[in-house]
A and B are shown apart, each in its own frame.
Chain A
Amino acid sequence: MKAAKSLAIALAILLLIVVISVAAWFLKIQLYNPKTPLSGFLVLIGLLAAGYYYMSEARAGTTYPVRKIPAFDAIEEAVARSVEMGRPVHMTFGYGSISSSMAPQYVAGLGVLSHVARMCGKYGAKLIATLGVPEAIATTEEIVREGYYSAGRPELFDPAYNVRYFTDQQFAYASAVQATLIRENVGANIVVGPFYAESLIFMEAGNMVNALQIAGTARETQVPFFVLVADYSFIGEEIFAAGALASGDRETLASIRGQDIGKLLVIVLTVLGILMLLGGLKLADYLNWVWKVG
């Protein structure tokens, strides 16, 4: 019943957008930016609608299978191994400003941190969460606290040890993290978020202390370093799925199916684009249409 109600609300919003657009078209109102291709807007709305549809289907009881991500499953193993060796677990999710296009990756990193924190609480591991994002200090403390408290081990939570903000300057942060990895002799090094040139510094420092390394980023330039050096890696969009996997919630997981629809669309457009090129036509010319009245 609840599922049907929320689906109805979503449909109503979609219908509203369509009605306003059609009315604007007939009333000759320049509703949308004439410099921004509208095809992108349609794809965005379509993908949001598809994701929402699968979420409400999941709420109604449908279960969608989700492929296993080895890097995600390895987190528990890494934490347990660190406890056996009596070494702490390290996790970091990047540096810089959260108010940029990298924000989604910080959110993904925080999702993984909350899973790591709960695992650390479960196994009684010492967690060191380092960060270079001053805006996220309070959130990080909250997440680590929640991890230990929910596992019934509040005594392990020590903010001055568990959460370490260094600086928002790239290489100062990198050197501080590197020093932490080596001095604290960490048993697991989990690095998920937006990373730049410092990615390899973290991986090599982790390698020096023989830590089990799990790394992931959606920044394509750093993916090769993680894939080559880390024991397990999240490649690209997998970091966004990690948050959903960590929640263990069927409905949240179902949203990933929306991503697959997007991928299918991209594949279709790519193949179509290549076929049209053979005929001397450019697909982009047909997709760049803008809303222009009068």
Chain B
Amino acid sequence: MSLVVRKYIPQLIVSVIIVLSIAFYYLYINDSVAKGLTTADKALSDWAVIVTSFALIVGGVDILRYHLTKIRREGLRQAPFSAVTISLLAIMVILALIGWYWSYANPKAGITITTQPQFTWLYSNIYAPADSAMYSILVFYIASASYRAFRVRNPPALLLLVTAVIVMLGNTTIGGLIWPGFLGLRDWIMTVPNTAAFRPITIGAGLGTIILGLRLLTWREISWMGRRD
């Protein structure tokens, strides 16, 4: 029984979904069948959204478990940080629930989960700046990574460096002051050689996905299920 639940049922679901996805995309027969297929396809992705949403609850519980264990093990040293995480998590959930309540209790007020005033305030004044700040950190990392990576160790590295310099100058207004041609050259590098290098990776990844699909379909790819026996 356990083997059926742990191994065969998940594999069967995966196989059926793969076949259905292909059928939804290619089959037609007549207008009403095609419409039915589209509806089924939309339903399938709606299910995925629903499953994902429930998984977020599991995620919330997992975060709580992690932090409570950490507080228990490390005591006061960890407690303030975990307290911030846990309380913010709770506050966002409560505010969203209030918004949800109002969207039903008084729809005319126009308050929903995402437009609940305090929720929006926290989102735009705490989450958004923090999120942007993390993204901005990339500026520093790109700088230090390129500083290390663009060392002329051999002729191909020199080629890489020259290309990088042209693209960087093309991206700036100062580059245009030095030589107006940088802009056109940057566009050429990005649209011709760069795209040519990207396409095989995309094609290869697509082929890899198809063969991964075959292994899933024939029940040979089992690593994603965890236990093997």
The contact of A244 among B28, B30, B215, B228, by CB within 8 Å, is B215
Residue among B22, B27, B216, B218 facing the most chain A CB atoms (10 A cut-off): B218
Q: In chain B, what residue has the closest Cβ to A246? A: B223
1/0 per position for B186-229, CB-CB distance to A under 8 A? 00000000000010111111011111111111101111111110
Residue among B49, B63, B70, B209 facing the most chain A CB atoms (10 A cut-off): B209
Q: A104-B213, A237-B205 are in contact. Are A243 and B221 (CB under 8 A)?
A: yes
Q: In chain A, what residue has the closest Cβ to B18? A: A48
Residue among A160, A256, A266 facing the most chain B CB atoms (10 A cut-off): A160
Cβ contact within 8 Å between B227 and A30: no
Task: Report A69-112 residues with CB < 8 Å from chain B CB.
Answer: 97-99, 104, 107-108, 110-111
A223 in the interface, Cβ–Cβ < 8 Å? yes
B101 in the interface, Cβ–Cβ < 8 Å? no
B2 in the interface, Cβ–Cβ < 8 Å? no
The contact of A134 among B56, B69, B70, by CB within 8 Å, is B56
Q: A135-B55, A165-B62 are in contact. Are A171 and B131 (CB under 8 A)?
A: yes
Q: Which of B104-112, B113-121, B136-144, B174-182 makes up part of the contact surface?
A: B136-144
A41 to B228 alpha-carbon distance, docked (Å): 33
Cβ contact within 8 Å between A139 and B27: no
Q: A111-B224, A160-B65, A243-B212 are in contact. Are A229 and B145 (CB under 8 A)?
A: yes
Q: A142-B226, A175-B134 are in contact. Are A200 and B142 (CB under 8 A)?
A: yes
Distance from A181 Cβ to chain B, minimum over Cβ atoms (Å): 13
Residue among A44, A107, A168, A235 facing the most chain B CB atoms (10 A cut-off): A107
Cβ contact within 8 Å between A247 and B223: yes
A55 to B135 alpha-carbon distance, docked (Å): 44
B29 in the interface, Cβ–Cβ < 8 Å? yes
1/0 per position for A251-285, CB-CB distance to B under 8 A? 11001101100110010000000000000000000
Cβ contact within 8 Å between B131 and A201: no
Cβ contact within 8 Å between B207 and A263: yes
A25 to B142 alpha-carbon distance, docked (Å): 57
Chain A contacts for B184, CB-based, 8 A: none
Task: Report A111-162 residues with CB < 8 Å from chain B CB.
Answer: 111, 113-115, 134-135, 137-139, 141-143, 145-146, 150, 160
B124 in the interface, Cβ–Cβ < 8 Å? no
A62 in the interface, Cβ–Cβ < 8 Å? no
Q: A36-B25, A110-B224 are in contact. Are A240 and B55 (CB under 8 A)?
A: no
Cβ contact within 8 Å between A134 and B28: no
Distance from A72 Cβ to chain B, minimum over Cβ atoms (Å): 13
B171 in the interface, Cβ–Cβ < 8 Å? no
The contact of A107 among B22, B141, B212, by CB within 8 Å, is B212
Chain A contacts for B216, CB-based, 8 A: 107
Cβ contact within 8 Å between A55 and B59: no
Distance from A149 Cβ to chain B, minimum over Cβ atoms (Å): 9
A251 to B215 alpha-carbon distance, docked (Å): 10
Chain A contacts for B137, CB-based, 8 A: 201
Chain A contacts for B212, CB-based, 8 A: 104, 107-108, 240, 243
Closest 7 CB pairs of A and B: A142-B226, A99-B48, A134-B59, A237-B208, A240-B208, A171-B134, A218-B205
Which residues on B are within 8 Å of A, measured CB to CB? Answer: 22, 25-30, 34, 45, 48-49, 51-52, 55-56, 58-59, 62-63, 65-66, 69-70, 130-131, 134-135, 137-138, 141-142, 144-145, 148-149, 198, 200-205, 207-218, 220-228
